[in-house]
Amino acid sequence: MTIREFKMPDVGEGLTEAEILKWYVQPGDTVTDGQVVCEVETAKAAVELPIPFDGVVHALLFEEGVTVDVGQVIISVETGEAGGGASAEATAAAPAASVAPVEAAEEPAAAARQPVLVGYGVSQASTKRRPRKAPAEAAPSRNGTAAPTAVPAQPQAAAAPAAPNGAARALAKPPVRKLAKDLGIDLASVVPTGQGGVVTREDVHAAATAALTAQPAAPQQAPAPAAPVAAPAPVAVPVAAGASARETRIPVKGVRKVTAQAMVGSAFTAPHVTEFITLDVTRTMKLVQELKDDPDLAGLRINPLLLIAKAVLVAIRRNPDVNASWDEAAQEIVLKHYVNLGIAAATPRGLIVPNIKDAHTKTLGELSTALSELVATARDGKTSPADMQNGTITITNVGVFGVDTGTPILNPGESAILAVGAIKLQPWVHKGKVKPRQVTTLALSFDHRLIDGELGSKFLADIAAVLEHPRRLVTWC
C-alpha cells in the first residue's frame, strides 16, 4: 500500500489560506478520483475540493473550522499503487517519492498546472518557496514537520537578509507575517519552534498572549477577565467564561473579512456622491403582474427587481459614459462597452456581489434566468470568484428589508451602485388628484471622478422615467 497526500490547493487567485468548513469523508472511507472530500472557504467564496486519486482515507490532518495555508497536506489516502509513498498536489500531476512527500512539488521539474475544475487548481507559484538555507540534519516541510531524510540546501539559496538593526531576518510564511503584523508582534522577538528556525502561527499567538499577560492590568468595571485577543477560534467565543458574559468576539475572516477590506478601500479611495429620487412605480407593478400571467414567460421568476435591472440597462444605453472605471496607475478613465451587472446578495457568510456577465445582451427571459441562478448560487454559498470579478455597475435591493433607501458604498472598481427602497402604497398626486399609489425611492451613489453631477442626475432620472412609464423599455431601446 502507498500513502498519498493531498495538499490544500490555491483555489483562488494567489490566495494563501483557506478554512476547512466541512469534511465529507472520514478515515476508512473509500474515495474515488474526482470525489468531493471537503468544502473550504477562502476570502472570496466557498469551494468544494475533489480528491485526485482512488483509495481509502488514511487520516484527516485538520479539523473543521481550522484555517490551513495553501500547500499544507490536509488528507492522506491509502492507494493500491506500488512504491514508497507519494505526495499529490490538488491536480495530482505527478506523485513524488515518499522520502520527502511534502517537498516533492518543489522540484525544479514540477509538472505544469493542470486545473481539475474551472476556476481553481494549483499553479507553480503557489507551491514554490523562496530559496533559503536549511539545516543539514533535516529539511522543513510545508506542514512544519521534518522530512525523514536530509534534503540538501539548494545551491542558489542565500542567507536570510539582515534586519535594519543587524539581526537576521526571522523566517516565516507570508500568512504568519501578516498575522504578526495584525497582532502588533515583532517577528524578530518571537522564539521560533518550527523546523529550521521557522516562526509558526502558534509561536506568534504565544508571543501575543505573553505580551498581553505582561501588560499591567487596566482598571475594569467587570470582574471577569477578557479572553486573549490572540486566541484563534472558528466560532464566536465569549470574552468571559460563564453565563454572565456580556460580550462576544467573532473572528473576522473569509468573505466577511475581504468585504470589510474592500468597503474601507472603496469608501476612502473613490469620492462618493449620492443622489435620491422618489417615484410612482404603479405602472411597473402592474406590468410585473401581467408578465407573470404571460404564458410565454411561464416558469420564469418575474419580480420588480427584474424590471429595475432592465431599466438600469436601458439608462446605461442612453448614458454610456457612466459605465466606466478609474485606472489609477495610468491615470485614465476606462469606458466599458459591456455591462456586467452586479446584484448585492446577503448570504450566511456575508455580503457578496456576483454579477451577470454581458447583461446588456440578454432578453428579459434570459435576464430573469440569470438573476434566479445568481441568487440561488449565492444563497448556497457556491458563488465562484470569477462570478464576483469585473463588475461594472451594481444594484442593491434594500427594500426587501422594509428600508426606504440608503447611501450605498461602491463595489471596488465600479462606477455606480443603485439602492432600491421598499415599494409601498402612499398618497400621491396622480392626474391632479391625491390617490394611493405604489411609491419607492432610489438612491444612486457614484464615483465623482468618473461621473459628474449632470451625468449622474441624467442617469438616475432615466432609470426613474422607465419605471414610471415602463413602455419606455420598448421605445428607448
Q: Are residues 194 and 316 in the same domain?
A: no
Query: CB atoms < 10 A from the CB of 333, how many?
Result: 14
Q: What pLDDT sits at residue 171?
A: 82
- H/E element holding 440? strand 433-447
Higher pLDDT, 101 or 444: 444
Q: Is residue 290 part of a domain?
A: yes
Cα 77 from Cα 55, distance rounded (Å) = 6
Q: Are residues 246 and 339 in the same domain?
A: no
Q: What pLDDT sits at residue 139?
A: 41
The pTM for the full model equals 0.55
Angle at 90 between CA 172 and CA 146, to 5 degrees: 40
Cα 418 from Cα 34, distance rounded (Å) = 41
Residue 188 has pLDDT above 90, yes or no: no
Q: What pLDDT sits at residue 452?
A: 93
Residue 206: burial class (beta carbons within 10 Å; 0-12, 13-18, 19+): middle
Phi, psi (deg, nearest 5) at residue 79: -115, 170
Residue 219 has pLDDT above 50, yes or no: no
Q: Are residues 16 and 120 in the same domain?
A: yes
- Picking from 130, 152, 174, the residue at the C-terminal end of a domain is 152
Residues 6+ apart with CB under 8 A from 319: 455, 458, 459, 462
Q: Establish whether 469 is a catalytic residue.
A: no
Q: Are residues 192 and 323 in the same domain?
A: no
What is each CA distance from 427 to 86, 280, 424, in whole angstroms? 74, 10, 10
Residue 315: burial class (beta carbons within 10 Å; 0-12, 13-18, 19+): buried
- Picking from 251, 266, 300, the residue at the C-terminal end of a domain is 251
Q: Are residues 298 and 240 in the same domain?
A: no
- With bands split at pLDDT 50, 70 and 90, how would you rate the model's confidence at 354? very high
Cβ-count burial 75-94 (b if 16+ within 10 Å, e if not): bbbbbeeeeebbbbbbbbbb
Residue 440 has pLDDT above 90, yes or no: yes
Q: Is residue 166 part of a domain?
A: yes
Weakest-pLDDT range from 107-116, 235-244, 350-359, 393-402: 107-116
Angle at 89 between CA 87 and CA 90, to 5 degrees: 140
Cα 255 from Cα 41, distance rounded (Å) = 8
Q: Is residue 453 part of a domain?
A: yes
Q: What pLDDT sits at residue 467?
A: 98
Place of cell 481553481: 120
Q: The domain that contains 116 carries what CATH number?
A: 2.40.50.100
Contact assessment for residue 406 and residue 395, using Cβ atoms and an 8 Å cutoff: no
Q: Is residue 220 part of a domain?
A: no
Cα 352 from Cα 259, distance rounded (Å) = 7
Beta strands in 226-306 (DSSP E): 237-238, 248-249, 272-280
Q: Are residues 267 and 405 in the same domain?
A: yes
Q: The domain that contains 420 carries what CATH number?
A: 3.30.559.10
DSSP symbols for 11-50: -SSS--EEEEEEES--TT-EE-TT-EEEEEE-SS-EEEEE
Distance separating the N- and C-terminal Cα atoms of the chain? 67
Q: Are residues 286 and 435 in the same domain?
A: yes
Residues 6+ apart with CB under 8 A from 29: 56, 57
Most confident of 13-22, 261-270, 430-439: 430-439
Average pLDDT over residues 134-146: 42
Phi, psi (deg, nearest 5) at residue 154: -70, 145
Model confidence pLDDT, tens digit, residues 377-398: 888 878 887 888 899 999 999 9
CA dihedral 36, 380, 256, 346 (to 10 degrees): 170
Q: What pLDDT sits at residue 403?
A: 94
Model confidence pLDDT, tens digit, residues 36-53: 999 888 766 778 899 988
Q: Are residues 164 and 128 in the same domain?
A: no
Q: Is residue 136 part of a domain?
A: yes
Average pLDDT over residues 290-318: 95
Which domain does 341 fall in, by range?
A: 256-475
C-alpha grid cell, residue 88: 499529490
Average pLDDT over residues 68-84: 80
Average pLDDT over residues 134-143: 42
Query: CB atoms < 10 A from the CB of 13, how many?
Result: 13
Average pLDDT over residues 253-268: 72
Q: What pLDDT sits at residue 448?
A: 92
- % of residues, the chain, pLDDT over 70: 71
C-alpha grid cell, residue 313: 440597462
Q: Are residues 136 and 164 in the same domain?
A: no
DSSP, res 118: T
Q: Are residues 451 and 339 in the same domain?
A: yes
β 416-420/393-397 pair status:
parallel
Q: Are residues 319 and 283 in the same domain?
A: yes
Q: Are residues 393 and 464 in the same domain?
A: yes
Q: What pLDDT sits at residue 257?
A: 73
Average pLDDT over residues 189-194: 85
Choose the catalytic residue: 272, 360, 448, 469: 448
C-alpha grid cell, residue 338: 459591456
Q: Is residue 268 part of a domain?
A: yes
Specify the number of domains making up the chain.
Answer: 3
Angle at 244 between CA 241 and CA 248, to 5 degrees: 65
Angle at 309 between CA 306 and CA 311, to 5 degrees: 110
Helical H runs in 58-112?
Answer: none
C-alpha grid cell, residue 339: 455591462
- With bands split at pLDDT 50, 70 and 90, how would you rate the model's confidence at 95? very low
C-alpha grid cell, residue 120: 481553481
Q: The domain that contains 210 carries what CATH number?
A: 4.10.320.10
Q: Is residue 23 part of a domain?
A: yes
Contact assessment for residue 86 and residue 36, using Cβ atoms and an 8 Å cutoff: no
Cα 348 from Cα 256, distance rounded (Å) = 10
Residue 369 has pLDDT above 80, yes or no: yes
Percent of the chain as helix, strand, coil, to the nearest 5: 25, 25, 50
Residue 430 has pLDDT above 50, yes or no: yes
Residue 104 has pLDDT above 50, yes or no: no
Cα 202 from Cα 312, distance rounded (Å) = 51
Q: Is residue 94 part of a domain?
A: yes
